[in-house]
Amino acid sequence: MVIRPIVSGFPPNMHKVPVFADHLMLAQRFEHPFSQELGLTGFGLVTCLEGEAQFMINDQRLLLNTSSFAVINRGSRLMINVDETPARPVLLFFRSILADVVAAEIFHRQSGHDKELSYAELKDYRLTEYVHYTHASVKEVLEQAIQLSQSCASFQALKTDALLRSLLQSLGQENYQAIAVSARLPVVKQSTRVDLYKRLSHTKSWMDEHLTEDISLEDYADMALMNPAHFLRNFKTAFGITPHQYMMERRLELAKKLLQNTRQPVQEISEQIGFDVLSSFSYQFKKQEGLSPSQFRKQVTTD
Amino acid sequence: MEESQWSKFKLRVNLNASVEEAYRCWATPAGLEEWFLRDASFKDAAGNAKDKNTLLQEGDTYQWLWYGYPDSVMEKGTVLKANGKDEFVFTFSLGCPVTISIYKEAGETIVQLVESDLPTDQGTMLQHFVGDSKGWIFYLANLKSILEGGLDLRNKKEELVDVITA
């Protein structure tokens, strides 16, 4: 992988569709405001490893910080704008051939499913071109890749590639799911389907980030730019579950992790994951797991 | 240097050990873990996991994990040839073949490594020719160290980065 600064090292012939021989990462810490039109891009992702930056992907304006990232589809137009400094935006473009290989792997693995997706569909990442939250693992991979690409470690190029390949495979898998889920949406026009899916998924990702907060259906719907009834109906159609059920499942998953990996009292865990009343948490937990939180903890710690 | 000269490299190390022992170190999962990998998992062509002490065979596939790195840094590849005594070939970086030949010379055992078919564009040359040959030099030295003295030179701490020993 090659790492270049965004300003000085951006070769003039790469301002148009860049087809890279290898992964390319553009990374730089800005001390002063900065803005640049980067033209058409390859397939990759953008984020910020320090501060925040605004990215214009086609006609979407996305503000990204250290806990969010966005995927960019091959051929999308990209512009970067850093208003507040210091900021360290990062742009990672995957090697085109490897991205195609990942799409081909998924294409062959899906054989036997009811509705097979085409290879061309799997190479198109426009459905995932929205702000993703819960950024920890992506951030970790990018930091590791930057560190590795500048290190004297053995097989440093091979290890960087392996790291980025694992990231690429996760995005490929996410894209596969996105295509399958979006197909359930009751719309005819493909552009409407893409737009609707992106708004629902962005909101779902935002829900993951605000799991423990008390947020109403109206707030979620606002986030998705829909009225509450429309949001509720489409969310359930796409993901097979209501927003409330989704939040409850995610909260209980978090509770299970805390019960298993910490010694926090059950009352404290209940409050931490957003329940006002302990009995309500215990009821929901038992309904899902068939055990009370204390029984669950005893069982997993004994095992 | 002509372009073709960047498409492969050869490294040799002399060992005070038998050909059989050197072959075991390359051609069994347990042997590979002694001097090279944190975890060497192999499956046969039918997808069954191989026992750690079994000799590997042509068509076996691998997933390798390294000391000093998380599981996300995983190398996958295939055994291309294993003759059971002195030659072992597998795919490695960018799918390029690595050929291990083991033979006697001047009373010592020589392990010869040839990594070939490397793409010769400038980016690959800089990163993979240099990076891979540098990596193999360390690991071949560690193989010698393990087989002759038992000292493992690998860095096994994830918090210690940017060292040639991992």
303 residues of chain A, pLDDT tens digit each = 666 666 544 444 443 333 444 688 888 899 999 998 888 988 999 999 999 999 999 999 999 999 999 999 999 999 999 999 999 999 999 988 888 888 888 888 876 555 678 888 889 999 999 999 976 789 989 998 888 888 899 998 889 888 888 899 999 999 999 999 999 999 999 999 999 999 999 999 999 989 888 889 999 999 999 999 999 999 999 999 999 999 999 999 999 999 999 999 999 999 999 898 999 999 999 999 999 999 999 998 876
Q: Do A147 and B161 touch (CB under 8 A)?
A: yes
Chain B residues in contact with A173 (beta carbon < 8 A): none
pLDDT at A1: 65
Topology of domain B7-148, CATH: Alpha-D-Glucose-1,6-Bisphosphate; Chain A, domain 4 (3.30.530)
Closest partner residue to B75 among A21, A144, A158, by Cβ?
Answer: A158
B20-39 tens-digit pLDDT: 999 999 999 999 999 999 99
Region class of B49: left (phi > 0), else alpha (psi between -120 and 50), else beta: beta
Taking an 8 Å Cβ-Cβ cutoff, which residues of chain B contact chain A? 66, 68-70, 72-75, 92-94, 121, 123-124, 127-128, 131-132, 134-135, 138-139, 161-166
Chain A residues in contact with B94 (beta carbon < 8 A): 158, 161
pLDDT at A19: 42
* Cβ proximity of A300 and A259 under 8 Å: yes
Predicted-complex ipTM score: 0.89
Topology of domain A244-302, CATH: Arc Repressor Mutant, subunit A (1.10.10)
Topology of domain A2-183, CATH: Jelly Rolls (2.60.120)
Q: Do A154 and B166 touch (CB under 8 A)?
A: yes
Region class of A82: left (phi > 0), else alpha (psi between -120 and 50), else beta: beta
* Those residues with Cβ within 8 angstroms of residue A238's Cβ, 6 or more apart along the chain or in another chain: A181, A182, A184, A185, A197, A200
Distance (Å) from the alpha carbon of A111 to chain B's nearest alpha carbon: 18
- Enumerate the H helices of chain B as residue ranges: 19-27, 29-35, 122-124, 130-148
Q: Do A154 and B165 touch (CB under 8 A)?
A: yes
Closest partner residue to B161 among A1, A151, A166, by Cβ?
Answer: A151
As a whole number of angstroms, the distance between CA B152 and CA A273 comes to: 46
**Chosen from A97, A144, A155 to mutate, greatest number of chain B CBs within 10 A:** A155
pLDDT at A9: 44
Spell out the domain ranges in chain B. 7-148
Distance (Å) from the alpha carbon of B164 to chain A's nearest alpha carbon: 4
Q: Do A163 and B72 touch (CB under 8 A)?
A: yes
